[in-house]
Amino acid sequence: MKGGLLLKGGVLLKKVGVLLNKGGVLAKGVVLVVGLYLFLKFILPLFTAPLPANLIFLYLVLTVAGIVIFGTISGESTEEFFGPIVRFLSGEGQTGSMKIARLLVLVLFPLLVGWQTYATAVPSDMPPAESRTIHPAPPGEFVGLSNPIPNTPENVMMGKGLFAAFCSPCHGANFDGKGPAARGFDPPPANFVDAGTIAQLQESYLYWRIKKGGVGLPVEGMPWKSAMPRWELELPDEWVWKIIMGEYDGAHQKPRTWE
């Protein structure tokens, strides 16, 4: 059964090959473009992150430009390249299925372009794909956790020390997000002095962000997929809680509590 299928596939490939040889530059170009599209769209993502649609489009346009240049390099090849298109569209001496195919193309192509234009122009009630609510909700297991470390001067001191050691290269010795390594990150490291960051947040939220960071998030984690390291692999929980304490104290902010 399987062998039969393989055989059939082989025969089909052979037929396509023969057609290609007869079809000249145009047919080869079409196969190349379709093949490239399928490769970029479906095969490449198996190995790396999927390409954005506009990049795929750019590659295809470049490829088509290359094929057109190659196909029109001499008068002879130009005729070979455009001949089939012109003959098909002008309908010269066409009969039967070719005639119908030509009609279909002539009717469907304007409809397709119209539909495409409509689809891009019509206002949509879907939320934009990358709406940035500044702070995402932490996953359930982190909701409502409270800092188990007593808020003593020693613990705050230790938290600040740990912060200086692990976090200040990016978030800055003054907690202002201007550490020596901060430049070059997009999104930039958070500025904890700014009233819009940790002052808006609960300790449980910080605990989640510090433990999971931004690098471990899947692609869908945009825009929280950032350079923020995933500290759960390196710092014991107790240190993370102490760092949170030192962070608030150093930035002169207070964690948000449920009023």
Closest CA to 82 of 33, 24, 17: 24
Closest CA to 172 of 197, 202, 136: 197
Span interacting with ligand HEC, options 67-75, 104-112, 146-154, 166-174, rule CB under 6 A: 166-174
- Which of 231, 242, 249, 253 binds ligand HEC (CB under 6 A)? It is 231
* Binding residues for ligand HEC, total number by CB under 6 A: 24
Q: How far apart are CA 211 and CA 227, in angstroms?
A: 13
Contact 147, 245 (CB under 8 A): yes
- Which of 166, 175, 241, 248 binds ligand HEC (CB under 6 A)? It is 166
Q: How far apart are CA 56 and CA 49, in angstroms?
A: 13
- Which of 23, 24, 50, 169 binds ligand HEC (CB under 6 A)? It is 169
> Does 59 interact with ligand HEC (rule: CB under 6 A)?
no
Q: How far apart are CA 177 and CA 191, in angstroms?
A: 4
> Does 193 interact with ligand HEC (rule: CB under 6 A)?
no
> Does 229 interact with ligand HEC (rule: CB under 6 A)?
yes
Closest CA to 43 of 51, 54, 55: 51
The tokens describing 166, both together, are 């692990």
Which one, 26 or 173, has the nearer CB to ligand HEC? 173
Q: How far apart are CA 242 and CA 197, in angstroms?
A: 18
> Does 197 interact with ligand HEC (rule: CB under 6 A)?
yes
- Which of 40, 147, 171, 250 binds ligand HEC (CB under 6 A)? It is 171
Find the shortest distance in angstroms from Cβ 153 to ligand HEC. 19
Residues binding ligand HEC (CB under 6 A): 135, 166-167, 169-171, 181, 185, 187, 189-190, 197, 206, 209-210, 214, 224, 226-229, 231, 243, 247
